[in-house]
Structure 1
């Protein structure tokens, strides 16, 4: 792989990490901002710091190797197909990140929460088709199963939590201040989980590029990769994707502090079960949006704006398909342009 191509991959990985933080800032702060538990600037600052800490924690507790990165991203067949063509592999990685970046940008523009991970895995289908390899169907099948079961679990758990919390609030022991404090803690847990979860994506891409370039990889090199990616995710979070914040915090339903607490807690639990139980990433966007709907149904089905919920669901369904088309188109153009 040429030095220029490797440099482009690193720059694109940082850009994707920044976009991920910007796009998914709503996951941690939309409920706390909407219910006025925290000021917007305070909520975004807290989320940025916890995203940074979560990213460093997530990247520090894993053994960062090329085989780990390939397995994590489900790129085994693609990497095997392009082993003798490192420049083509580099263009494939670049195409995957460009497709993911463009889909995140598009969904942010229309204010729809969508999964960066699902966009990336969708793009791998298109790239696999172009390079003539099979897709990692076992990995993709697990992701698909989680993407179906995860939102159902999140919504159900949020519903149950909402019922329990509303019963507790009928006593004088639980006051509004207690709910706002608990909501802040649960939002912090989601922010930390998001950093831990989503920082692995750009890191894994760069690790594969390092292996394809034949560069030495050590503990110091690993840290040199981790820190800029963690900072990029945190910087994007600090800017905040306000369009998606409005969708989750205001357009899906009229959030209360009780509903926000139930939704954030449910999202944090779902993310933990998937990441540590199944050792696979889960969409924080799907976890929180479905939790908000579940908590809203507990207040009454009419409190949920089902047209918005339908649009969110359609965005989730469109994500892998659209990303596959984008990934295939971008790689096809790049290969044709450089003759790789």
Structure 2
């Protein structure tokens, strides 16, 4: 029975990774497609491949998710906690995708874990949630916003004497590299969160005693994320590529470079799970603000911010309800 439950949880993790892929594919490709640097299918294919490579590049964030958010519950009850957390995250991902709202799959997963843990009276590592999760997730969009603004200002100065048409053509090509870099950072960050959930499940069931990540777990999560990315997320892509700010190749390149820099820093240096969606959206706002403040559609940004605030408690609530239903059986 426990083995069956473990297989079910792994299936839920794979489903979450897939929804994460199609939900967050827009992060890497929206600007490249909207500026016509890449075709839609070409951008999706590139993002899927780079997501796959990024997912194979590290495991520090996975260990943080596996050991730093909640205490390790035991047996079938522990798998119920993990399963309920995944249900909460998946349902919230699908809801926000339907409405075209760029929300955080990372916030949804961590909110789901906390909600299910509270419902089951499992200890939450609040200090770890604060230092390793909450603070980096609050600071990273601010860094993305500031970095996007500064990088764009630097580019405007560097290209001030260059022919605008020639610069646009060069930057459109450069966007292929910057979009690849961002997609790799997305794979590095987001696939690891799912890896951490599977590792937590393996420890719960006694299949391993430490929080190291087996290669088959890395490969499974990487493949599921890449497959979800290939399926695309056009609803959210329209929001990131056009509704916040009408991106040019220069703006798209600056936003992608800024966002990917934040992703690499948080993953490799701090092993902290941050939201690719939040970082990229903030970077788009930052580069847009260099044109003029009114160029950014701040009302759209406000709607997105509401989604950011609601994500963790909404996913936590759904997960707590799911645990209540599952525990009855």
Flag whether TM exceeds 0.5 (same fold).
yes
SS of alignment partner, residue 25 of structure 1: helix
Tell me, yes or no, if structure 1 residue 254 matches structure 2 residue 246: yes
Using the size of structure 2 for normalisation, the TM-score is 0.93
Distance apart, 1:69 and its partner CA: 5.5
Map of 1:122 onto structure 2 = 111
Distance apart, 1:75 and its partner CA: 1.9
Q: In 2, distance between residues paired with 1:55 and 1:217?
A: 23
1:75 to 60, 70, 73: 70
2:173 to 181, 187, 193: 181
Map of 1:158 onto structure 2 = 148
Question: Where does structure 1 lack aligned partners over 5 or more consecutive residues?
Answer: none
Distance apart, 1:302 and its partner CA: 1.2
Task: Specify whether residues 63 and 305 from structure 1 end up closer, same or farther in structure 2 by C-alpha distance, changes over 3 A only.
Answer: closer
Q: In 2, distance between residues paired with 1:22 and 1:284?
A: 13
Tell me, yes or no, if structure 1 residue 93 matches structure 2 residue 82: yes
Map of 1:235 onto structure 2 = 227
Map of 2:93 onto structure 1 = 104
Q: In 2, distance between residues paired with 1:141 and 1:131?
A: 21
Give a deviation string over 1:173-202, Cα, whole Å, max 9, x none: 762222112222111111001111111122
Q: In 1, distance between residues paired with 2:2 and 2:283?
A: 45
CA contact (8 A) 2:144 2:282 kept: yes
Q: In 2, distance between residues paired with 1:24 and 1:68?
A: 21
Map of 1:286 onto structure 2 = 278
SS of alignment partner, residue 316 of structure 1: helix
Task: Specify whether residues 324 and 68 from structure 1 end up closer, same or farther in structure 2 by C-alpha distance, changes over 3 A only.
Answer: closer
Task: Specify whether residues 243 and 272 from structure 1 end up closer, same or farther in structure 2 by C-alpha distance, changes over 3 A only.
Answer: same
Give a deviation string over 1:88-145, Cα, whole Å, max 9, x none: 1011110111111111111111111111111111122221221223321112212222
Task: Specify whether residues 56 and 111 from structure 1 end up closer, same or farther in structure 2 by C-alpha distance, changes over 3 A only.
Answer: same
CA contact (8 A) 2:2 2:76 kept: yes
CA contact (8 A) 2:70 2:113 kept: yes
Task: Specify whether residues 121 and 68 from structure 1 end up closer, same or farther in structure 2 by C-alpha distance, changes over 3 A only.
Answer: closer
CA contact (8 A) 2:111 2:315 kept: yes
Size of the alignment, in residue pairs?
325
SS of alignment partner, residue 58 of structure 1: coil
Distance apart, 1:21 and its partner CA: 0.8
CA contact (8 A) 2:67 2:200 kept: no
Map of 2:302 onto structure 1 = 310
CA contact (8 A) 2:64 2:272 kept: no
What does 1:16-35 align with in structure 2 at a 5 Å threshold? 16-35=16-35
SS of alignment partner, residue 30 of structure 1: helix
Map of 1:263 onto structure 2 = 255
1:275 to 267, 271, 288: 267
Report the aligned-residue RMSD.
2.1
Q: In 1, distance between residues paired with 2:218 and 2:264?
A: 21
